Amino acid sequence: MRKQVPNIITSLNLLCGCIAILFAASGALVTAAVFVFLGIFFDFFDGLAARSLQAESKVGLELDSLADVVTSGVAPAVVMVQLLSEAFTGSYIEMESLLGDNTWNHSWAEWLPFIGLLIAVASAYRLAKFNVDTRQTDSFIGLPTPANALLLLSIPLILEYQATPALTSFLLQPWFLIVLTIISCVLLNAEIHLFALKFKTWGVKDNLLRYLFLVGSVVAIVFLHFLAIPIIIISYILLSLLLPKQ
């Protein structure tokens, strides 16, 4: 049973991702974001649990990637589809009406939001590379899918709780969302080295950078709330680029 604990935690990540997709498809983007964040929380601890319990396994590695595809790949992609639909048409996609008798008579603006699904494709490809890339044992090459998911899921939270007319107009600008989608796909698979945030031990000496980054992130969230999330992700990328390759 002890060896199954990490897999149970990973499975909770997968379950959260499935629930998030259902909510995102129905237009409940804030609830979807909550479940994605909860899934990422479980993803943060499954590897640590595996190492602490000496329960690492090939099955666990594969299950972790499959869970991340759902929670940090498909769920954010569906959220982006809905955001693009809101930007282009003023409402979220309703599959029942889209797939009715006149499926192919809808305007291009109703189909273009599906470009957001490229995020799911790019995330799956990034995770497949991660599983076979021996260079990513102590660092990442390309933006990790959970970090990308946090960046994208911050948008509906900002729109819901911290929006101003100017900010709403900017975040729901169709071309901004399309460019963000493309940048997201590129960052996921770019050859940029980023320090890993997963802890192998709790020691300060081996994790000083991680602790400083996490403390700084908490402070930013306290003062900026959801607006802090994109700032944190951008800072993570810039800080990694300034550090020597690990």
- The per-residue pLDDT for range 112-155, each reduced to its tens digit, is 999 999 999 999 999 999 888 777 666 788 999 999 999 999 99
Q: By CB neighbour count within 10 A (0-12 exposed, 13-18 middle, 19+ buried), where does 16 fall?
A: buried
Fold (topology level) of 2-242: Four Helix Bundle (Hemerythrin (Met), subunit A) (1.20.120)
Q: Is the pLDDT of residue 69 over 60?
A: yes
Alpha-carbon distance of 169 to 223, in angstroms, equals 23
- How would residue 46 be classed by pLDDT, with cut points 50, 70 and 90? confident
Alpha-carbon distance of 82 to 105, in angstroms, equals 20
Alpha-carbon distance of 32 to 56, in angstroms, equals 30
Element (H, E) at 6: helix 5-25
- How would residue 213 be classed by pLDDT, with cut points 50, 70 and 90? confident
Quote the percentage of the chain above a pLDDT of 90. 57
> In one letter, which amino acid is 152?
L
Token pair of 9 as six digits:
């935690």
pLDDT score for 225: 94
Task: Kindly report the average pLDDT of the chain as a whole number.
Answer: 86
Q: What is the pTM of this model?
A: 0.88
Sorted by where each begins, the domain ranges of the chain are 2-242
Residues 116, 178: contact at Cβ < 8 Å? no
Alpha-carbon distance of 13 to 44, in angstroms, equals 10
Average pLDDT of span 153-179:
95
Token pair of 234 as six digits:
């951008």
Judged by DSSP in three states, 27 sits in coil
CA-nearest of 219, 186, 52, 56 to 119 is 186
